[in-house]
């Protein structure tokens, strides 16, 4: 198998996660989804369907529900235990820790899953990254004493590099981060 092999549960849920993101994004994205989200009624030709699609209205209840749910979660300020106060001043990718946990909570409310990777780099600086559900493509775990223990996780990372041939173009680079737990560590 190759590194981009997808877990069966990933394959089972990815369509639903995409649908949730489309519903949250709103009417323009729903309409871009064409017949997946806005089925063609009857025997409309392309011109009639385009007019139908332009008249369609999307009420953004999903986006409102997500914002309301996350707002309720953070109605009161986050209070960290004394031994966790260092997190209060932690900057994660240029944002505060509180903003980071709000973004993670938004992901959970939106699609039901999120991943975080925390590590310490060589100079002792803490490194924390949020991974959307769609980027956690494969994993394996074992069960010991009723506890699920992660043994392997494959994370997809997409970033853009400048195209040297064209000053105005960017090239998407996909790389995979494989975390393989050896002997439980």
Report the alpha-carbon distance of residue 108 to residue 20 in Å, rounded: 11
CB atoms within 10 A of CB 22: 17
Residues 6+ apart with CB under 8 A from 37: 19, 22, 30, 31
pLDDT tens digits, one per residue of 55-98? 999 999 999 999 999 999 999 888 777 666 566 556 566 777 78
Question: What are the tens digits of pLDDT across the range 89-110?
Answer: 565 667 777 888 899 999 999 9
The secondary structure element, H or E, covering residue 9 is helix 8-25
Mean pLDDT value across residues 4-31: 96
Give percent of the chain above pLDDT 90: 69
What's the pTM value of the predicted model, to 2 decimals?
0.83
- CB count in 10 Å sphere of residue 131: 20
CA-CA distances (angstroms) from residue 5 to 9, 150, 152, 159? 12, 17, 13, 20
Bridge partners (DSSP) listed for residue 91: 96
Cα–Cα distance for residue pair 140/28, rounded to 1 Å:
37
Dmax over CA atoms of the chain, in Å, equals 66
CA distance 135 to 133: 5
Please tell me the distance from the alpha carbon of residue 116 to that of residue 128, in angstroms, as a whole number. Answer: 7
Residue 42: per-residue pLDDT:
87
What stretches of 80-181 show up as alpha helix (H) in DSSP? 97-111
């Amino acid at each position: 198998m190759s590194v981009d092999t997808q877990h069966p549960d990933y394959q089972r849920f990815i369509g639903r996660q995409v649908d949730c993101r489309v519903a949250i994004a709103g009417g323009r994205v729903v309409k871009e989804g064409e017949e997946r989200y806005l089925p063609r009624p009857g025997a409309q030709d392309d011109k009639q369907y385009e007019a139908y699609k332009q008249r369609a209205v999307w009420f953004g209840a999903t986006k409102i529900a997500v914002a309301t749910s996350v707002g309720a979660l953070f109605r009161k300020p986050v209070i960290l235990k004394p031994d966790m106060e260092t997190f209060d001043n932690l900057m994660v990718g240029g944002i505060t820790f509180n903003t980071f946990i709000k973004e993670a909570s938004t992901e959970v409310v939106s699609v039901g899953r999120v991943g975080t990777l925390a590590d310490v780099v060589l100079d002792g600086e803490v490194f924390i990254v949020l991974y959307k559900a769609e980027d956690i493509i494969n994993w394996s775990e074992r069960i010991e004493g009723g506890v699920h223990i992660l043994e392997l996780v494959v994370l997809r990372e997409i970033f853009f590099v400048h195209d040297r041939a064209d000053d105005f173009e960017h090239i998407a680079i996909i790389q995979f981060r494989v975390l393989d737990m050896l002997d439980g560590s």
